[in-house]
């Protein structure tokens, strides 16, 4: 019970570091138990007469006061205790990155535009091609997922509810799409989804049928178009040079070679420098994490282009 209360933030006013409270909960309980025993036995009374105020036991030192959960970890623990996110939304930490990928189009904006295209001429959706489906990219946190077997018994389909804090919608993964993406279809996963929006005769609105889904952790490898690093007086230049050498793209490597730009922001010098073609790097998800730790998130900026992703050929998919 106490673990759930800590994860829910009940004791935040006393101690905001929930990780510290949880990791030392056993020690705190032992201290409380010992203090109570001392009071009951009279050890807290200076003369053992029971009339003086109890003197508390010496406060021991507990480790981990400087160790915190990441915002994502804290929100997940919060949801585990309460069944919902109370103090934030997991997508908040990645909002700028997602907006860069989607050209500033939040889920609410995308849905509104699709609705306007349909309602601008009521009943004309099919004539404008909505029966075939308009290509769309959307992103959001998976809030709920329902998986159902096909009536034929040969396969499954899924209905996935995503939320980006601006709106919430359901995305359908029919049999082939579900088979291709089922490994990444997980509740609490942030997904980037490519699909087709079409007019739904049954509901009278728009629906999205997915083709492919990518976890946010794979966005760098699939969609990154260029890397910009800001250099100022605090930059660790030697370490940065070593990083670029270690992650230089080589022929035949699976990932896309990424051009690197330096944004110089010095006291007397400012400008932008592009490294040569032979200095392009292969920025995997692990390398990107390492780069953020090296430079700081505010000094690293990725440009994305969703069109960089190449749909697997039928031959490749069959292999």
Give the chain as a DSSP string: -HHHHHHHTTTTTT-S-HHHHHHTHHHHHHHHHHHHHHHHHTTTSTTSSS-SPPPPPP----S-TT----HHHHHHHHHHHHSS--S--GGGGGHHHHHHHTTT--HHHHHHHHHHHHHTSTT-TTTTTTTT-EEEEEEEEEEEEEEEE-TTSS-EEEEEEEE-SS-EEEEEE-HHHHHHHTTT--TT-EEEEEEEEEEETTTTEEEEEEEEEEEGGGHHHHHEEEEEEEE-TT--HHHHHHHHHHTB--TT-SSPPB-EEEEEE-SS-EEEEE--GGG-B---HHHHHHHHHHH-GGGEEEEE-GGG--PPPHHHHH-
pLDDT single digits (tens) 211-257: 999 999 888 888 989 999 888 877 777 888 899 899 998 876 666 78
Q: Tell me the percentage of the chain whose pLDDT exceeds 90.
A: 30
Question: Is 90 in contact with 186 (CB distance < 8 Å)?
Answer: no
Q: Whole-model pTM above 0.85?
A: no
pLDDT single digits (tens) 266-278: 777 778 889 888 8
Set out the domains of the chain in order of their start, with CATH numbers.
Answer: 2-89 (no CATH), 96-218 (2.40.50.140), 219-308 (no CATH)
pLDDT single digits (tens) 22-32: 888 888 888 88
Say what the pLDDT of residue 41 is: 76
């Amino acid at each position: 019970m106490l673990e759930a209360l800590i994860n829910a933030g009940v004791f935040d006013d006393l101690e905001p570091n929930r990780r510290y409270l949880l990791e030392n909960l056993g020690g705190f309980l032992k201290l409380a138990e010992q203090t109570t025993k001392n009071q009951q036995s009279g050890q807290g009374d200076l003369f053992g007469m029971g009339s003086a105020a109890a003197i508390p036991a010496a406060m021991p030192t507990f480790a981990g006061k400087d160790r915190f959960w990441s915002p994502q970890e804290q929100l997940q623990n919060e949801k585990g205790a309460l069944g919902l996110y109370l103090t934030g939304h997991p997508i908040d930490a990645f909002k700028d990155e997602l907006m860069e990928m989607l050209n500033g189009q939040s889920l609410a904006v995308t849905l509104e535009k699709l609705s306007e295209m349909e309602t601008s001429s009521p009943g004309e959706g099919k004539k404008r091609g909505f029966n075939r489906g308009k290509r769309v990219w959307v992103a959001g946190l998976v809030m709920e997922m329902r998986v159902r077997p096909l009536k034929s018994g040969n396969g499954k389909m899924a209905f996935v509810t995503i939320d980006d804090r601006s709106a919430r919608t359901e995305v359908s993964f029919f049999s082939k799409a579900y088979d291709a993406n089922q490994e990444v279809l997980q509740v609490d996963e942030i997904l980037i989804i490519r699909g087709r929006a079409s007019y739904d005769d049954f509901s009278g609105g728009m629906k999205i049928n997915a083709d492919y889904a990518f976890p946010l952790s794979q966005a760098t490898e699939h969609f990154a178009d260029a890397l910009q690093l800001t250099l100022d007086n605090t930059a660790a230049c030697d370490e940065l040079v070593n990083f670029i050498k270690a992650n230089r793209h080589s022929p035949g490597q699976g990932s896309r070679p990424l051009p690197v730009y330096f944004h110089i922001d010095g006291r007397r010098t400012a400008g932008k420098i592009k490294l040569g073609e032979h200095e392009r790097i292969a920025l995997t998800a692990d390398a990107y994490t390492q780069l953020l730790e090296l430079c700081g998130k505010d000094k690293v900026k990725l440009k994305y282009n969703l069109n960089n992703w190449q749909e697997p050929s039928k031959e490749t998919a069959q292999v």
